[in-house]
């Protein structure tokens, strides 16, 4: 089973690969459903694909907007350029785009996006007949429904399932609230997430009097879906024959990508996390609370967070090792404030979690000794065992293990 990770830029692509992703998906400057991600220039796309292929990994590019008629030429030209670069697959939603790409005779596979909302085996097989290599099954399906689809399609077309990350209030982006309230179209990659805004009730004859729908001083977030975290379902999805599990998050941080990819790499490699242990680890990163979503068969009030819309995590990403050394000593890029002598948690690609105590004082790469280092400083860390490049140092909050 493939582990498919997101990347909002070239740096994040490298982190996803380092932490165990088998494939990485990303968007270019046009055609992606994440307009507010940094996205890749075509030069960055070429560099990213070259980097992944050198490691034996795959790169997929999203061209999954629903384009207007006059945008098809740009879509097909972009697809042809990506195909010449050796992209492994192009992810699409729109039927017209699918048919236009089929005419091009691309070497790259065509994958059907979650935006297409595929919920039946009949639709999966129809996409196969139209030339698709893979279909992302809608996040609105239960495990039982996925198993039934797999019974009809396995061996005939690849399937993938979102396993972790933010979910949409609507059917995976098929929503017009953002269009109406902000003028930014969800199906154009511009969603402003009004489902996560704070709402109150106003009675027609009492303008300006805002009555909270839920009695809480912070207001209410009526449509704010929790993130999904489906690690307990991975064995069943694998047994059903799902080809790929996919992580959401092209707009997320390096810390998010490294932590989540590391976690699901461990799961795929056979480690079984208990409910408590799994969520303790996933709570290290910012989240909106976690849910099993539709995978368990139904949505209830536990799947929505009426108390908050912001993200919070139980750790602070304070630094990471680089690929460089000075005098044989590993360099750490400081991302947040670091204190001499403090104890930090260490997350290493392919390794287990551990703790490290920083030296007193800290030595910077310009030869100074300090008690506190902060971004954009670099420090030297002469610690055993040797830390690999891409290792994360983070400060774990006191309630992380509660």
Question: What is the per-residue pLDDT across 8-18, written as a single tens digit (0 to 9) for each?
Answer: 999 999 999 99
Pairwise CA distance, residues 90 & 71, whole Å: 17
Residue 390 has pLDDT above 60, yes or no: yes
Stretch 263-279: mean pLDDT, rounded? 94
pLDDT tens per residue, range 205-249:
888 887 666 544 444 555 667 899 999 999 999 999 999 999 999
Every domain of the chain and the residues it spans:
2-171+224-303, 315-396
pLDDT at position 166: 83
Question: What angle separates helix 42-54 from helix 10-18, to the nearest 10 degrees?
Answer: 10
Do 2-171+224-303 and 315-396 show the same overall fold?
Answer: no
Task: For residues 187 and 32, give the distance between their C-alpha atoms in angstroms, rounded to a whole number.
Answer: 10
Pairing of strands 2-6, 244-247: parallel
CATH 3.20.20.380 fits 2-171+224-303, yes or no: yes
Which pLDDT score, from 0 to 100, does residue 39 have?
83
Stated pTM of the model: 0.87
Tell me whether strands 158-165 and 134-136 are parallel, antiparallel or unpaired. parallel
Beta strands of 195-237 (E only): which ranges? 227-229
CA–CA distance, 344 with 354 (Å, rounded to integer): 9
Residue 306: the pLDDT is 47
Alpha carbon separation from 114 to 107, 171, 202, 281 (Å, rounded): 22, 9, 36, 27
Q: Could you tell me the pLDDT band of residue 197, with boundaries at 50, 70 and 90? A: confident
The DSSP secondary-structure symbol of 397 reads P
- The pLDDT value recorded for residue 54 is 98
Residue 376's pLDDT is 93
Between CA 389 and CA 61 the distance in angstroms is: 26
35 band by pLDDT with thresholds 50, 70 and 90: low
Predicted confidence (pLDDT) per residue in 91-134, tens digit:
999 999 999 999 999 999 999 999 999 999 999 999 999 999 99
What pLDDT, in 10s, does the model give residues 328-382?
Answer: 899 999 999 999 999 999 999 988 899 999 999 999 999 999 999 999 999 999 8
Instruction: State how far the Cα of 187 lies from the Cα of 132, in Å rounded to an integer.
Output: 21
Structure tokens that stand for 244 in this block: 């790929």
Tokens found for residue 85: 């670069």
Report how far residue 62's alpha carbon sits from residue 286's, in angstroms, rounded to the nearest whole number. Answer: 25
User: If one looks up domain 315-396 in CATH, what number appears?
Assistant: 2.40.30.10
End-to-end CA separation in angstroms for the chain: 33
Provide long-range contacts, Cβ within 8 A and 24+ apart, for 47-51: 47/10, 48/7, 48/10, 48/13, 48/24, 49/85, 49/86, 49/87, 49/88, 51/13, 51/14, 51/17
Token pair 């192009």 is at which residue?
90
Both structure tokens of 17: 């690969």
Quick one: pLDDT band at residue 305, thresholds 50, 70, 90? low
Tokens representing residue 148 in the block: 């039934």
């Amino acid at each position: 089973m493939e582990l498919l990770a997101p990347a909002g830029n070239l740096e994040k692509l490298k982190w996803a690969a380092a932490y165990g992703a088998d494939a990485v998906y990303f968007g270019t400057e046009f055609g992606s459903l994440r307009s507010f991600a940094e996205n890749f220039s075509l030069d960055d796309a070429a560099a990213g694909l070259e980097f992944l292929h050198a490691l034996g990994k795959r790169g997929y590019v999203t061209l999954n907007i629903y384009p207007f008629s006059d945008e098809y030429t740009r879509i097909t030209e972009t697809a042809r350029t990506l195909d010449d670069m050796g992209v492994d697959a192009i992810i699409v939603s729109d039927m017209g785009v699918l048919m236009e790409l089929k005419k091009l005779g691309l070497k790259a596979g065509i994958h059907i996006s979650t935006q297409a909302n595929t919920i039946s085996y009949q639709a999966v097989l129809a996409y196969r007949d139209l030339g698709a290599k893979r279909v992302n099954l809608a996040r609105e399906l239960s495990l039982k429904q996925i198993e039934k689809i797999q019974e009809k399609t396995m061996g005939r077309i690849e399937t993938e399932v979102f396993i972790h990350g933010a979910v949409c209030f609507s059917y995976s982006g098929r929503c017009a609230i953002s269009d109406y309230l902000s003028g930014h179209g969800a199906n154009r990659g511009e969603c402003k997430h009004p489902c996560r805004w704070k709402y109150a009730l106003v009675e027609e004859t009492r303008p300006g009097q805002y009555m909270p729908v839920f009695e809480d001083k912070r207001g209410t977030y009526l449509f704010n879906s929790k993130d999904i975290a489906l690690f307990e379902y991975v064995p069943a999805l694998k047994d059903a024959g799902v080809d790929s599990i996919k992580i959401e998050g092209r707009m997320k941080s390096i810390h998010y990508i490294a932590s989540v990819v590391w976690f699901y790499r461990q799961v795929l490699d056979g480690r079984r996390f208990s409910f408590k242990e799994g969520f303790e680890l996933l709570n290290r990163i910012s989240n909106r609370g976690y849910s099993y979503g539709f995978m368990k068969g139904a949505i209830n009030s536990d799947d929505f967070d009426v108390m908050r819309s912001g993200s919070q995590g139980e750790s602070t990403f304070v630094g990471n090792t680089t690929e460089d050394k000075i005098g044989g000593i590993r360099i750490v890029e400081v991302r947040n404030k670091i204190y001499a002598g403090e104890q930090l948690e260490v997350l290493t690609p392919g390794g287990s979690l551990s703790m490290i105590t920083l030296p007193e004082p800290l030595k910077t790469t310009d030869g100074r000794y300090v008690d506190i280092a902060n971004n954009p400083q670099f420090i030297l860390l002469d610690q055993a065992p040797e830390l690999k490049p891409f290792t994360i140092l983070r400060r774990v909050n006191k309630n992380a293990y509660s």
